[in-house]
A and B are shown apart, each in its own frame.
Chain A
Amino acid sequence: MSNYLLEVEHLQKHFPVRGSSFRSKLAVQALDDLTFGIKKGETLGMVGESGCGKTTAGRTILRLHEPTGGRIVYDGDILFDKEEKIAVNMLPYRKKMQIVFQDPYASLDPRMTVGDIVGEPIDIHNLCSSKQERYDRIIGLLERVGLNSEHANRYPHEFSGGQRQRVGIARALAVDPEFIVCDEPISALDVSIQAQVINMFEDLQNQMNLTYLFIAHDLSVVKHISDRIVVMYLGRMVELAESYELTMHSMHPYTRSLVSAIPIADPVEARKSNRIILEGDVPSPINPPSGCRFRTRCPYADEQCAAEVPEFREVTSGHYVACHHLDRVK
């Protein structure tokens, strides 16, 4: 396990529901029992529909949300451990672990110039000794993400969505991090820009030897960029495997329906494919279904699924699934 850069074990994040103090403690169970590792230089994709806890997972790993349970280990250092009551000061780790946010419109302070937005992390972590060095570094970062020096004195509202996301990426890169959580970095962008930004993420990874946790709800994008993919449903992991393995030999009924929804460019092929359409809506995370959380929408569900939480187990080498009825699904 030691070859992992980041490891999380049984990570949990429950948000208390306000105004519910009279009843037994209600909580939005946004994230439960998240356990995985990311190797150095790897890209782990994370997919799932909206509200499944992907964003919460990303933020909780960076402790932008304080976890309510579990353990986070980064490069051998324990950042958080509920049982041992460890919660270290994150400041030195903010230099190593960064995040690119989903919404490039809201995540940049509208009162600061782009130069200051990118420069602020440099100041916080005292990375430059002189003004000239700081300026050169900012310009270098902007150029690295496809912007140029004259953009430094402008404000975020003067940029397009794609350019703003580049600013957000430059900001994340400003501290020369090792690990970046990409929290749906392209979902707010035009399709024409998405490919550019995805390619930029890949180039940056090669140049700077970065490790990514790449969160998205679009499986075809995640498949393209990721080495391995984890599929989330209602705050829990349902399947984790190598990219190719997961899309070609998906086992969990939920993953299969996601994979079947990837658009196929060839209309003849597309007509032949069997789309699995799920019935119903995602249940409330305040009161999730007992046992397997997917059972309310699963065509294979039975009493066992309601009674027991399926174990997240390794079925074939490196391929983990949480399902009671794998034999039947096949």
Chain B
Amino acid sequence: MLYQIFITFFKIGCFTIGGGYAMVPVIQREIVENKKWISQDEFLDAIALTNSLPGPLATNTATYVGYRMAGISGAITGVVATALPSFLIILAIAAFFTTIKDSTVVQNIFRGIRPAVVSLITYAVIKLAKSIGLKTKNILISLGTLLGMIFLNIHPIAAVIVSGILGFFFFREEAAEK
């Protein structure tokens, strides 16, 4: 079983380019449709729950599925197998990239790529804003975090903690009003 878990999540780790939600269909096909390890409903519940935790979606999902299949050793096997492909690839790139990154060609390529990274992240911000919904409380927390980080140099971890506390009081009140 542990070997099965390892092979499956190693494969998932190899093909999840782009990160985040791009990984969901890949994991789903492998775990729910091919292996039939857990049901579709359980998979969606597990994604919703583990995705609300910190950390990469792929390793969190591997923890859940690995645990369900073979307990704690299954969970550890799943996480290691998921992270291993990207670890090995980046290791190879890191060793190689540091030797070529100062060449003019590579420099010029990356001068073009850097603004594209900003565009990709801007697009992610727009998509995320749409999925969260532009309600007053959300906008207040988002803007407060953004301005606080840019102008007051607030640490992102402080922003997470403060907004979690604010969320607790805001949304408890909202739930009480209903």
User: Are A and B physically bound partners?
Assistant: no
Interface residue ranges, B against A (CB under 8 Å): none
Interface residue ranges, A against B (CB under 8 Å): none
